[in-house]
Amino acid sequence: MQVIEHFRGQYDFLSNFHPAQIRFEGIDFPTVEHAFQAAKTKDRGLRLAVANAPSPGAAKRIGRRLPLRGDWEATKVGVMRDLVRLKFVTHAELGTKLLATGIATLVEGNTWNDRFWGICHGEGRNQLGQILMEIRQELAETSSSRANE
């Protein structure tokens, strides 16, 4: 079985840093990373500051300093799932590319020790990869049901 181990090169569209504007809770964000970092707080002013960050990396740095909303640990995976789904549904061409990964295992391989969202040095939960594979399955089921109509 094919494994896509990194979201770079031809697979950079799988990264949350990939430019793909989404609208989340009334604010336009240039990337999923921007939106995810902003979702850590309920403060609209802080969310707008994250939305206006010049890069996904800058948004991530701002997000590390935000006061976390009380339910963040319980909701962060669901928020990520919603944002990733929004990216691939809003941008049909990206959805098509995600579908084209077929049944490949998607792994957010990294070197920055993220063992929750990805895998580093062979260890990790790969939550982002799992979410991407769930969304891919949803898209496949949606396109299959449309084909049968």
- Give the position of tokens 């430019």: 19
Gyration radius (Cα) of the chain, Å: 15
Q: Work out the average pLDDT over 121-149.
A: 90
Residue 144 pLDDT exceeds 80: no
CB 20 within 8 A of CB 79: no
Q: Where are the domains of the chain?
A: 3-147
Q: Indicate the average pLDDT of the chain.
A: 96
Q: pLDDT confidence of 1, banded at 50, 70, 90?
A: confident
Model confidence at 81, pLDDT cuts 50, 70, 90, reads very high
**In the predicted structure, residue 147 carries a pLDDT above the cut 90:** no
Identify the sign of the CA torsion 46, 78, 120, 33. negative
Q: Do 135 and 84 meet the contact criterion of CB atoms below 8 Å apart?
A: yes
Domain 3-147 has CATH 3.40.50.300: no
Residues 63 and 50 sit within 8 Å (Cβ to Cβ)? yes
